Amino acid sequence: MKNTFSLLICFAILFSACSSDTSDGSTEIKKKVDETPLVQRYMTEMVANPKNQDDLDRNIIVNKLIDNLWEFKKTDSGIYYKIDPPGTGGHPNLNSNIKCHYKGTLLDGREFDSSFKRNKPLEFTLGQVIAGWQEAIPLLEKGGKGTFIVPSRLAYGQSFPPGTIITANSILMFEIELLDFH
Kindly name the residue from 102, 149, 171, 176 that is annotated as catalytic: 102
Kindly name the residue from 72, 81, 174, 181 that is annotated as catalytic: 174
The yes-or-no verdict on residue 7 having pLDDT over 50 is no
Q: Which domain holds residue 109?
A: 69-181
Q: For residue 34, is it within any domain?
A: no
Kindly name the residue from 54, 60, 124, 130 that is annotated as catalytic: 130
Q: For residue 122, is it within any domain?
A: yes
pTM: 0.81
Give the CATH number of the domain where residue 95 resides: 3.10.50.40
Domain total of the chain? 1
Q: For residue 112, is it within any domain?
A: yes
- Is 174 labeled as catalytic in the residue annotation? yes
What letter does residue 75 receive in the DSSP assignment? Answer: -
Q: For residue 28, is it within any domain?
A: no
Q: Residue 28's pLDDT band (boundaries 50, 70, 90)?
A: low
Give yes or no for a contact between 81 and 45, defined as CB atoms under 8 angstroms apart.
no
Kindly name the residue from 66, 80, 81, 113 that is annotated as catalytic: 113
Backbone φ, ψ for residue 137 (5° rounding): -60, -40
Q: Which whole number is the average pLDDT over 6-25?
A: 38
Q: What is the chain's mean pLDDT, rounded? A: 86
pLDDT digits (tens, 9 = 90+) for 66-124: 999 999 999 999 999 999 999 998 999 999 999 999 999 999 999 999 999 999 999 99
Residue 47 CB partners (closer than 8 Å, separation 6+): 55, 58, 59
- Is 102 labeled as catalytic in the residue annotation? yes
- Is 113 labeled as catalytic in the residue annotation? yes
pLDDT of residue 36: 86
Q: For residue 152, is it within any domain?
A: yes
Q: For residue 62, is it within any domain?
A: no
pLDDT of residue 178: 98
Q: For residue 22, is it within any domain?
A: no
Q: For residue 133, is it within any domain?
A: yes
Kindly name the residue from 156, 166, 171, 181 that is annotated as catalytic: 156
pLDDT digits (tens, 9 = 90+) for 126-139: 999 999 999 999 99
